[in-house]
Amino acid sequence: MSEFAFSVGAILVSVTGEVLATGYSRETDPKDHAEEVALRRASGTDLAKATLYSSLEPCLGRASRPVSCSELIAASGLQRVVIAWLEPPKFVPHGGAKWLAARDIAVIQLADLAPAARAVNGHLLP
């Protein structure tokens, strides 16, 4: 694993609690982000009432792809995102949550889950 590789997971859930799709970082390609994998798998599904759960704030910019996860989320029609923690600025300045909120997409951070999400990435953080 690269020294810059996060372990991130994402899951799309319908309003009735049905799992629509899942994804994790580097799942199908070394440049994959968890959210983009889940969204790709849910392509063609109406996501307007679904919720995306992610262990990390969706990225707002990236060098490896032309479109950020935040932009993919906005384009998907999702209206609700739940995250465990904000992306550490060591790799990419965070801002995805604020960017999504500015587009009327609800972003809820469950700070109690942040320690568990950070723990699997502890080798990357000071």
pLDDT tier, 6 (very low <50, low <70, confident <90, very high otherwise): low
Residue pointed to by tokens 């950070």:
118
pLDDT in tens, 16-56: 999 999 999 888 899 999 999 999 999 999 999 999 999 99
DSSP codes, 30-64:
TT--HHHHHHHHTTTS--TT-EEEESSPPPS--SS
What integer best gives the mean pLDDT of the chain? 88
- In CATH, the number for domain 47-118 is 3.40.140.10
**Is 35 known to be catalytic?**
yes
Which residue among 18, 27, 35, 71 is the active-site one? 35
pLDDT given for residue 126 in this prediction: 60
pTM score, whole prediction: 0.88
pLDDT > 90 fraction of the chain, expressed in percent and rounded = 64
For range 79-102, the mean pLDDT: 85
Q: Where are the domains of the chain?
A: 47-118
